[in-house]
Structure 1
Amino acid sequence: MRRPTPMHRICIYPKDVARLTGRSYDAAKRLVRRARQAAGKPAGALVTVADFCQLTGLNEAEVSRAINQRSA
């Protein structure tokens, strides 16, 4: 019997940003908030890896790989 393919996360959270960037959790929250605002999303809306990478200029594939390795 085959194992189901695991789902990959597309949303990014402050904890992920703190681990990826080495910033404090509070600084990571501010960065996620800025990414949400830059994407034109309302407060409380989820921030995708694409939204975050567009703001920071980081490579989307690398960020996605890094956060999905941690959650696997």
Structure 2
Amino acid sequence: MPRICLYPKDVAALTGRSYDAAKRLLRQVRQTAGKPAGALITVQDFCRFTGLDASEVSAALNHKAK
């Protein structure tokens, strides 16, 4: 089953940022999306914020999980 939620470890691997920087980025994405603290961030939310291609991010995320 393909993953649709991102965690700081995923963002760090995708962007090359540190784990702490990835947490800050996810916090910014969550605030921009209007989600409450602790809400899950989807690939779509992340890509809308960063401008990355959702299909590429999803492929990288799901390929890594195998």
TM over 0.5: yes
Tell me the TM-score normalized by structure 1: 0.89
- Per the alignment, residue 20 of structure 2 pairs with 26
In structure 2, C-alpha distance between the alignment counterparts of 1:46 and 1:17, rounded to whole Å: 13
Residue 64 of structure 2 corresponds to residue 70 of structure 1? yes
Residue 14 of structure 2 corresponds to residue 44 of structure 1? no
How many pairs align? 66
In structure 1, C-alpha distance between the alignment counterparts of 2:45 and 2:31, rounded to whole Å: 10
Which of the pair has more CA radius of gyration?
Answer: 1
What are the ranges of 5 or more consecutive residues in structure 2 without an aligned counterpart? none
What are the ranges of 5 or more consecutive residues in structure 1 without an aligned counterpart? 1-6
Code of the residue aligned with 2:18 in structure 1: it is S
Query: Runs of at least 4 residues of structure 1 off by over 6 A?
Result: none
In structure 2, C-alpha distance between the alignment counterparts of 1:49 and 1:33, rounded to whole Å: 14
Tell me the TM-score normalized by structure 2: 0.97
User: Could you say what the CA RMSD is over the residues aligned between the two structures, in angstroms?
Assistant: 0.5
Q: CA deviation at 1:15?
A: 0.4
